[in-house]
Structure 1
Amino acid sequence: MNTLRKVARRELAVFFATPAAFIFFGAFLAATLFIFFWVETFFSRNIADVRPMFEWMPLLLIFLASAITMRVWSEEHRAGTLEPLLTAPVSLPVLVGGKFIACLGLVAIGLLLTLPLPLTVSFLGQLDWGPVFGGYLASLVLAGAYIAIGLWVSAQFNSQIVSLIVSTLACSFLYLLGSDTLTSFFGNQGGELLKLLGAGARFDAITRGVIDLRDLLYSFSLIGIFLSLNVYTLERQRWAGNPINSVHRRWGVLTALLVGNLLLLNFWLAPIGVLRADLTAGKIYSISPATRSYLDRLQEPLLIRGYFSSQTHPLLAPLQPQLRDLLREYEVAGKGRVRVEFVDPQEKPELEQEAGEKYGIRPVPFQTASRYQTAVTNSYFDVLIKYGDEFVTLGFQDLIEVKSEGDTQLEVELRNPEHDITRAIKKVLYSYQGGGNLFAGIGNPVVFHGYVSPEAKLPQPLVELRRNLESVLAELKTQGGDKFSVSFADPDADGGQLADRLGKEFGMRPMVAGLLSTETFWFYMTLESGGQQVQVALPSALDKAALKGAIEASLKRFSKGMLKTVALYTPPANPSMAQFGMMDQGNTFQLLQRFAEQEHRIKPVDLSTGQVDPEADILMVVAPERLQEKQVFAIDQFLMQGGTVVLATSPFDVSLQGRISATDKQSGLSDWLAGYGITLGKTLVLDPQNAAFPVPVERQAGGYSIRETHLINYPYFVDIRSDGMNRNGGLISGIDQLSMTWASPITVDADKNKGRQVVRLLESSRGSWLSDSIDIQPNFDRYGQAGFAQGEAAGRQLLAVMVEGGFASHFKGKTSPLIEEARTRQAEKDKKAKEQPAAGQSETAAEQPVEPQQPEVIGRVLERSPDSARIILFASNTFLADTSLELASGAGGTRYLNPLQLMANTIDWSLEDRDLLSIRGRGHFARTLLPMDKEARMIWEYMNYGLAAFGLLSVWGLRRLVRARARRREQLLIAGRIEP
């Protein structure tokens, strides 16, 4: 080891003895910085990672390693020092190893000088250090392979230039062997075989943040192969001129065996994919505990089948091996319950027919271009997840994420493969279980409480309903066994003690069958399990089927194995008038509905019946407009049943037609929210920390007005980062950035919410300010580049809040609006009957009084909610709208899904189905940079140039210090003051 160290130290001293070292390092740093900031346009790419640097690193290392190694043995040849060196009392492996370590140390110094780049990115965004560590490790081991090749080549020639050229060509061939450029000409099997041999493909796998033992051993085997060849080459030069003997043959055989075994080791380890470490922050490429929990619930075999074509788009081809490796991990984690298959439908017609007819999987035409022609390739890139009779298919659009950088440059990655696949497994599992035993996913016993009056007091429709109720409960008792029990009680018995308790705890009060009826009765139902109570809504259709559906829907709230139902209210679309050239100008929310349907059952509702669908597990009201009293009553009573109401509303709506302007919008919920101490301010929040927005701008050219679109930092698009998010509880898990468009501030009255839990979910930055102006079009002529007047900072503004606890109904002590409507309808009917006597009826008969009919409406108002009730409010009408999401996607060059992921989080968190929260929102392009202006970006860029120069100066200063210490030691040795 001492000799090895001395050889390495000598080699380093020789390298730094001339300015060549600093020229090489300077060129390497200049190329790296130019590629990072100019070629890959780091700031316009707007992603907090350093993958662009590592994507070019294999090519940069080729030239750096070749330049470092070109003189190592060639210079010894030219100077005539090779022969004395070979005859010195130093073994050749030690000599070669020392020079290898010296060259690798030089590359490590070059890589160390690039460290300011990831440090800069970590200040500008939420950098995932796992892929950074993997990138540097991959760069170092790949550089080791290049150096080993360069040393071997240098030992063959006495010319440094020839060594440089040959080393560069050899390393380039090794890199291109597994590149997409070459593998695209072969099928899946041929391409994967080439990737086993190519350095570039192995390097990419590690820079993704996955350290696979196979990839490391590949580089180490290359190092071993070429260092062995280097030693053998030098040994042969030492034999030069001597006759061949048994020792020479033994050297050749041993070298061939070593090289052959190192090559075969890669093919032997190729099928083994479990020896790897996922360094990414969210473990994107690994099976998480959340996924394993779903796989453990499988009772039947789960089939995962990948449909991949051998010929596909060049950008999709590198993703197939990644997806294959992940699916194989599902098979291992499934412990025999998961079967994974890979098929090429174009090679198996029977499977292609089944895929199209049964699962709706069809080939997608991709336009590809080769050197000589443009063609269309029809290929498959789909995954089928099937459990029992339930199945979900994932196409390439569901699995990939595309980042557009200009008109021609695209970056394609798997979006969040584990979440996408596990989400599909969850859906088929819950759908399958939903058709079976309701109690399979319920852990604690459930007690049905019926607070019902005797039949003598019930109106006739409810007498029959009571009998149907007993029949339904008997069926559920048979199905649930010990997990289900029934309890009935008459609240008026024993002097009404139970009635008093029900009124205090749940806000229940006697019902009436109609406005003109004076007799009251009780007909309330609740389910209790694990200390939680859920009120069963009385169905509007008083029949057995509706009653059974209402009870089963409430039972599903206690189950973790049932597909949940989301009642979604969105504003009704205005009728399109395409024949007049007029289209609907209102906000639409199709993207929200489609995204939520991936994991849940969505039921669009308009609340006009005054009741939320009994099957609903959660109610989501988005951009409400002029809600009538019945609709507010439906929301109120759903909350009183202990449900969660998610609201996205504000006092303003925005029109993007022509000049951007805000208009007042009456939701109909202001008084209802105010009763709970929640107020939405009649202002809009502006924030210096904001997102970009394409804004139409007019400029004058002489007397002519020109309309242009500029991408500007728009203060009404509040950019919320981690410091403005409340991560306690997990509702915002996996979301690092969120844009709230045209949001209003929320004020929560602490006095009115005593006894309730108030959680501030989202807040603007400290520098935000408020404006009550409805003119939200930027004015660059008046306010310069900012476009808006900078208001006085008002501090952090609350933009989303959750209030949980017991609520008193807004309709407490009031008559049900359903009864009021029935009264009005009956009055109009009676009036019409008096004014329009039937044909042939005598005038005397017409004057006879008409007996008013009692409306068949049950008057029930729940006056108090259980403590499990929640209101979750987001103060924006537009941040979930299709237009806002498309604008944000266009500005960022990739699909902007964070608001939709937030809603999915909210649903899962509210329904206590939180397994997917830990893996949702982990896409490659989700980590964006902090908002900054052009001047700030230039400062960070030039600072990196300065840090690179400072790094070079530091290396130069360190070299001078080492040389000075060496000279002093030499002088002390000559003077005899120290021992050698």
Structure 2
Amino acid sequence: MDTSHVARRVSAKELGLFFASPAAWLFLGGFAAVCLFVVFWIESFFARNIADVRPLFEWMPILLIFLCSAITMRTWSEERRNGTLEHVLVQPSALWRFSLGKFQACLSLLMLALMATLALPVTVSLIADLDWGPVWAGYIASVLLGSAYLSIGLFVSARTDNPIVSLLGSVALCGLVYLLGSNLFTEFFTNDTAEILRLFGSGSRFDSITRGVIDLRDLIYYLSLVIAFLGLNVYTLEKEGWARFSSTLRQRHWRVGTFLLLANLLVTNIWMQPISQLRWDLTQGKLHSISESSQELVGQLREPLLIRGYFSARNHPMLAPLEPQLRNLMLEYAEATGGNARVEFVDPALNPALEKEANEYYNIKATPFQVSDRYQASLVSGYFSILVKYANEYQVLSFSDLIEARTSTSGKAEVRLRNPEFDITRAIRDVLYSYRSGGDLFAGIEQPVEFIAYVSDADLLPDALLSYLDSIKAQLDIAVQASDGKFSYRFLQPEADEGQLAQQIEEQWGFAPMASPIDPEKDFYFYLTLADEKQVVQLPSGDFNPGNFRKSLDSGLKRFARDFTKTVAFAAPQVNQQMAAYNLGSHSFNGLESIITRNHSIILENLADGEISPEADILAVVAPHDLSELAVFAIDQFLMRGGTVVLATSPFSVEPDGGALALRSWDSGLEAWLSHHGVGIAESLVLDKRHARFPAPVQRDSGNLQFQDSRIIDYPYFIDIRENGLARHPVNGSLPQLTMAWASPLEVKRRDKLRVTQLLWSSPDAWLGAGDDISPRANQTWQPPGDTQRQLLGVAIQGRFQSLFKTPPASLQDRPEQVSPGVNAFVRRSPESSRIIIYPSNDFLSDRVLGALVRASGNRYLGPVELFSNTLDWALREEQLLQIRSRAHFNRTLPPMEQKLRVSLELANYAAAIAWLALLGLVTWLQGRRRKKRYVRELGL
């Protein structure tokens, strides 16, 4: 016999016998049906609303136990029961070839069974933005885990002549290997013990791969299991030919060889365990590996960085499996710094001194978690926090900052790390910037910055400005000496050369002559600017107090520096606490304010005083209402001085009203100002066939009676914006999807010297609503009255803007503290760096809408807030975090679909599985006919 082909011939024989039995088709068909049933029914795929196939792989370790046990139950037990095992034992070929052939046949059947589920990820990719990395990793993990189960099944089958006993034994042994590292078993132990158990459990290794990370340690683990149990299988067969109670040299060699094989496999896994660098992140955007932005940031470190994880030995069972992921990520930061970062892992309960330091100095407290076992529920106080410390600056990330939780339709909680790289990188950036802000301001400036003062001759200036001028020159000399050549200054007289410069700065910047109230006939110039190759920023003069100049200068210089925390002036409606308690007439933006505070310094701006804080690097105005002339002037002049104004405004606002929704007119006071710059916001709301779901009050009619219910319904006023509606622009970052609530369409007229960039659109299936009845009703269908078209929902305008105002408002000029009408440095024309960014909705960033989206989706939805944060970072030239902000696992959602389409997609997956089995049946039948014809031909019949 040609021994080189034994394994292949055995494999072909086993496959033929398997498909000749009706049980084979029952196993394959049952596996496919159960997999799809689990996804669509038990895990409620469409209600879950996440664009992944994780439910399939969450159940795969259990399903594979039964499938693999069923496949292997007859492989050796039938040979033993039918008496053909002796024939195998006396063959000249080595026994391992027969075992390998049977294993190959079983593995082929497993892969054919897994292919019956491929229609599911294909379906998801056709309807949503699917990350294929975790899908391929999931199938690789399934093949690896299935291979381990098959080798276990072959070993058990070789020890009995009863297929039923083989099935039960395989299920028991495979189940034991799976349970060894599962939460069901490890929650009875401390984290350290549980971590060791997870190293031996097949399920924990499987979960690690299905995240989308292929770790060499996991591959070696599964390969070791396969080799170990195939070796035990061969050893069991070899023992069949031994005489009882004998001990020959051959038998001793087999015993020692088998023991050495198992020992070497165990040692190899132990030796590989500390090596965490050999891993491949298959996810889109490398979700589980630090990005280039993070590597670039940690490359700027000049002092040692400490990243310390506070993890308790006894913690909540859902947090325990996340700890190894955090550990691996933290170690990557240490590697990226080239040894300039120290990573520590501490259990405070074992180190009282460190626990006291954590409690008192860093304010890191143990969090009480409720855990339960078979008999009782109890509270466990555990630590799950990360400390990032650089010199004397530090940031703390608690478990609420690190995890993302959602509730499935079955009521089971899903807990995963939200976006640990973003949180850790942001913390590193904050401590680095805080450290530098207390040191050298010019260290973060890359391009030379010049201070240019357009100041008239001393004979033309008021006396108050002369002393001010002498003071700031002295302060400028100090700044030049400290800048290491990165800062310089010069004073220019606009009246020189017959006023050519005066004409130029009025045309370019709108710098008009000022006048003193003491001598109105005497004009002068006094404008202070900072400029580099990319932008020009005008410094506010304030009240011409020399003591405030350096503060204004530093605030201006920070706009050119990369390594300082920027300041956001945030203006939002004042919340009436009494009305907010009853959810009436309140526009609260606490969530947005909290996110801005985490990433930037924030100033709660009162626009009514007509001025913007000189420390502000950017102005964000949300849901403006009845702005006064002074407030509009403050926004206007901030823009004219080269600033960026981010607006979220619309002619309407939606408020609860007696259990329904009421559409209110909302006069922002900015209509004339926006129109002056070519921006119009139509007095209507956009509805879209592609929309999100909303837990809305629904009116139900029953006879002559009306009732109010609360239901999660399809609601076209919640516009679902996806890839085709998200422009390729940094403000969209890596957002996979955005929900825009109650938005009005934008209309932008092109103007000279202004560049218009469209950022967001609705789908082409959008239309404009008529009337103010926006309350949904039971069984209501929303249909467009006519043609549909795409609507513009976000725009950025940059360039030279002309001020709406000819002169400052009279109320500003009459203030007694003003030295002159020019004290506010009234500017008629902006530099090219000025921007207006508009999102036409008052409500899409509000706490009420974000809360509604959370209730509808079951997870923490931050799409609108992430869009706003991206907008601020882009405008402030802080783009390091843009590409990693939106990497949360639950951010990829399914698009809105009608019920008929959902049913059709589900049936299509069942049909695809049936078609695959039919194809296998056809191929098997054709091969059987070909084989029969060959036999007939060879026998000469």
- TM-score bracket, shorter-length normalisation: over 0.9
What is the rounded CA distance, in whole Å, between the counterparts of 1:792 and 1:499 in structure 2? Answer: 56
Letter matched to residue 373 of structure 2: S
Deviation at 1:526, TM superposition (A): 1.4
Deviation at 1:822, TM superposition (A): 4.5
Partner of 1:170: 173
What is the rounded CA distance, in whole Å, between the counterparts of 2:707 and 2:651 in structure 1? Answer: 33
Answer yes or no: is the 8 Å Cα contact 2:698–2:709 preserved in 1: yes
**SS at structure 2 position matched to 1:566:** strand
Instruction: Tell me the TM-score normalised to structure 1 length.
Output: 0.93
Deviation at 1:571, TM superposition (A): 1.4
1:546 partnered with 2:548: yes
Deviation at 1:973, TM superposition (A): 3.0
What is the rounded CA distance, in whole Å, between the counterparts of 1:972 and 1:295 in structure 2? Answer: 74
Q: For 1:92-107, what aligned pairs fall within 5 Å after superposition?
A: 92-107=95-110
1:873 partnered with 2:838: yes
- CA displacement, residues 310-336 of structure 1 (integer Å, 9 cap, x when unaligned): 111111111111111111111111111
- CA displacement, residues 185-220 of structure 1 (integer Å, 9 cap, x when unaligned): 111110010001000100000001010000110000
1:664 partnered with 2:665: yes
Partner of 1:797: 791
Deviation at 1:972, TM superposition (A): 3.2
**SS at structure 2 position matched to 1:342:** strand
What is the rounded CA distance, in whole Å, between the counterparts of 2:821 and 2:723 in structure 1? Answer: 53
Answer yes or no: is the 8 Å Cα contact 1:511–1:859 preserved in 2: no
What is the rounded CA distance, in whole Å, between the counterparts of 1:575 and 1:919 in structure 2? Answer: 36
Deviation at 1:857, TM superposition (A): 6.6
What is the rounded CA distance, in whole Å, between the counterparts of 1:229 and 1:345 in structure 2? Answer: 44
Partner of 2:916: 951
Answer yes or no: is the 8 Å Cα contact 1:149–1:171 preserved in 2: yes
What is the rounded CA distance, in whole Å, between the counterparts of 2:71 and 2:684 in structure 1? Answer: 64
**SS at structure 2 position matched to 1:762:** strand
Partner of 2:198: 195
**SS at structure 1 position matched to 2:595:** helix
Deviation at 1:527, TM superposition (A): 1.4
Partner of 1:846: none
Partner of 1:393: 396
Q: For 1:850-865, what aligned pairs fall within 5 Å after superposition?
A: 858=823, 860-865=825-830
Answer yes or no: is the 8 Å Cα contact 1:516–1:854 preserved in 2: no
Q: For 1:576-591, what aligned pairs fall within 5 Å after superposition?
A: 576=578, 585-591=585-591
Partner of 1:302: 305
Answer yes or no: is the 8 Å Cα contact 2:687–2:768 preserved in 1: yes
Answer yes or no: is the 8 Å Cα contact 1:697–1:709 preserved in 2: yes
Answer yes or no: is the 8 Å Cα contact 2:610–2:812 preserved in 1: no
1:921 partnered with 2:923: no
Deviation at 1:55, TM superposition (A): 0.7
Deviation at 1:429, TM superposition (A): 0.9
**SS at structure 2 position matched to 1:816:** coil
What is the rounded CA distance, in whole Å, between the counterparts of 1:857 and 1:287 in structure 2? Answer: 51
Which of 780, 793, 802 is the matching residue for 1:785? 780
**SS at structure 2 position matched to 1:587:** coil
What is the rounded CA distance, in whole Å, between the counterparts of 2:55 and 2:787 in structure 1? Answer: 38
The total of aligned residue pairs comes to: 937
What is the rounded CA distance, in whole Å, between the counterparts of 2:758 and 2:518 in structure 1? Answer: 43
Q: For 1:763-842, what aligned pairs fall within 5 Å after superposition?
A: 763-780=761-778, 784-786=779-781, 788-811=782-805, 814-817=806-809, 820-822=810-812
Which of 554, 569, 572 is the matching residue for 1:570? 572
Letter matched to residue 42 of structure 1: F
Partner of 1:469: 472
1:76 partnered with 2:68: no
**SS at structure 1 position matched to 2:744:** coil
Answer yes or no: is the 8 Å Cα contact 1:512–1:860 preserved in 2: no
Instruction: Tell me the TM-score normalised to structure 2 length.
Output: 0.97
Q: Taking structure 1 as reference, are residues 492 and 232 closer, same or farther at Cα in structure 2, changes over 3 Å only?
A: same
Which of 885, 888, 897 is the matching residue for 1:932? 897
Answer yes or no: is the 8 Å Cα contact 1:640–1:869 preserved in 2: yes
Partner of 2:637: 637
Answer yes or no: is the 8 Å Cα contact 2:699–2:777 preserved in 1: no
What is the rounded CA distance, in whole Å, between the counterparts of 2:205 and 2:583 in structure 1? Answer: 52
- CA displacement, residues 615-637 of structure 1 (integer Å, 9 cap, x when unaligned): 11111111111111111111111
Partner of 2:854: 889
Deviation at 1:407, TM superposition (A): 7.4
Q: Taking structure 1 as reference, are residues 107 and 822 closer, same or farther at Cα in structure 2, changes over 3 Å only?
A: closer
**SS at structure 2 position matched to 1:656:** strand
Deviation at 1:854, TM superposition (A): 7.6
Q: Taking structure 1 as reference, are residues 699 and 577 closer, same or farther at Cα in structure 2, changes over 3 Å only?
A: closer
Letter matched to residue 547 of structure 2: A
1:909 partnered with 2:874: yes
Answer yes or no: is the 8 Å Cα contact 1:625–1:668 preserved in 2: yes
What is the rounded CA distance, in whole Å, between the counterparts of 2:243 and 2:533 in structure 1? Answer: 87
Deviation at 1:348, TM superposition (A): 1.5
Over the matched positions of the two proteins, sequence identity in percent amounts to 47
Which of 374, 377, 401 is the matching residue for 1:371? 374
Answer yes or no: is the 8 Å Cα contact 1:816–1:860 preserved in 2: no
Deviation at 1:445, TM superposition (A): 1.3
Answer yes or no: is the 8 Å Cα contact 2:72–2:154 preserved in 1: yes
- CA displacement, residues 764-791 of structure 1 (integer Å, 9 cap, x when unaligned): 11111112312211244xxx432x4532
- Residue segments in structure 1 that go unaligned for 5+ positions in a row: 830-852
Partner of 2:7: 4
What is the rounded CA distance, in whole Å, between the counterparts of 1:204 and 1:822 in structure 2? Answer: 65
Answer yes or no: is the 8 Å Cα contact 2:42–2:410 preserved in 1: no
- CA displacement, residues 820-863 of structure 1 (integer Å, 9 cap, x when unaligned): 1145567xx9xxxxxxxxxxxxxxxxxxxxxxx98787263211
1:123 partnered with 2:126: yes
Partner of 1:154: 157
Deviation at 1:722, TM superposition (A): 0.7
Greater Cα offset, 484-493 or 107-116:
484-493
Letter matched to residue 732 of structure 1: N
> RMSD value over aligned CA atoms?
1.8
What is the rounded CA distance, in whole Å, between the counterparts of 1:16 and 1:584 in structure 2? Answer: 68
What is the rounded CA distance, in whole Å, between the counterparts of 1:469 and 1:365 in structure 2? Answer: 56
What is the rounded CA distance, in whole Å, between the counterparts of 1:531 and 1:744 in structure 2? Answer: 34
Answer yes or no: is the 8 Å Cα contact 1:619–1:644 preserved in 2: yes
Which of 408, 413, 420 is the matching residue for 2:411? 408
Letter matched to residue 73 of structure 1: W
What is the rounded CA distance, in whole Å, between the counterparts of 2:699 and 2:834 in structure 1? Answer: 50
Q: Taking structure 1 as reference, are residues 896 and 110 closer, same or farther at Cα in structure 2, changes over 3 Å only?
A: same
Letter matched to residue 715 of structure 1: P
Partner of 1:722: 723
Deviation at 1:416, TM superposition (A): 0.8
**SS at structure 1 position matched to 2:645:** strand
Answer yes or no: is the 8 Å Cα contact 1:451–1:489 preserved in 2: yes
- CA displacement, residues 516-557 of structure 1 (integer Å, 9 cap, x when unaligned): 72222111111122343222222x242233211111111111
What is the rounded CA distance, in whole Å, between the counterparts of 2:841 and 2:575 in structure 1? Answer: 18
Answer yes or no: is the 8 Å Cα contact 1:682–1:772 preserved in 2: no
Answer yes or no: is the 8 Å Cα contact 1:513–1:859 preserved in 2: no
What is the rounded CA distance, in whole Å, between the counterparts of 1:632 and 1:433 in structure 2? Answer: 35
Which of 501, 504, 507 is the matching residue for 1:504? 507
What is the rounded CA distance, in whole Å, between the counterparts of 1:216 and 1:327 in structure 2? Answer: 22
Deviation at 1:674, TM superposition (A): 0.8
Greater Cα offset, 397-406 or 97-106:
397-406
Deviation at 1:975, TM superposition (A): 4.0
Partner of 1:557: 559
Letter matched to residue 917 of structure 1: L
Letter matched to residue 858 of structure 1: V
Which of 752, 757, 761 is the matching residue for 1:754? 752
- Residue segments in structure 2 that go unaligned for 5+ positions in a row: none
Greater Cα offset, 801-810 or 693-702:
693-702
What is the rounded CA distance, in whole Å, between the counterparts of 2:516 and 2:233 in structure 1? Answer: 98
Deviation at 1:584, TM superposition (A): 5.9
Partner of 2:674: 673
**SS at structure 1 position matched to 2:374:** coil
Answer yes or no: is the 8 Å Cα contact 1:424–1:598 preserved in 2: no
Q: For 1:322-721, what aligned pairs fall within 5 Å after superposition?
A: 322-406=325-409, 408-514=411-517, 517-538=520-541, 540-574=542-576, 576=578, 585-658=585-658, 659-700=660-701, 705-721=706-722
- CA displacement, residues 41-84 of structure 1 (integer Å, 9 cap, x when unaligned): 11111001111110110111111111111111000001100111
Q: Taking structure 1 as reference, are residues 252 and 822 closer, same or farther at Cα in structure 2, changes over 3 Å only?
A: closer
Deviation at 1:240, TM superposition (A): 3.8
1:259 partnered with 2:251: no
Answer yes or no: is the 8 Å Cα contact 1:363–1:380 preserved in 2: yes
Letter matched to residue 43 of structure 1: F
What is the rounded CA distance, in whole Å, between the counterparts of 2:916 and 2:377 in structure 1? Answer: 47
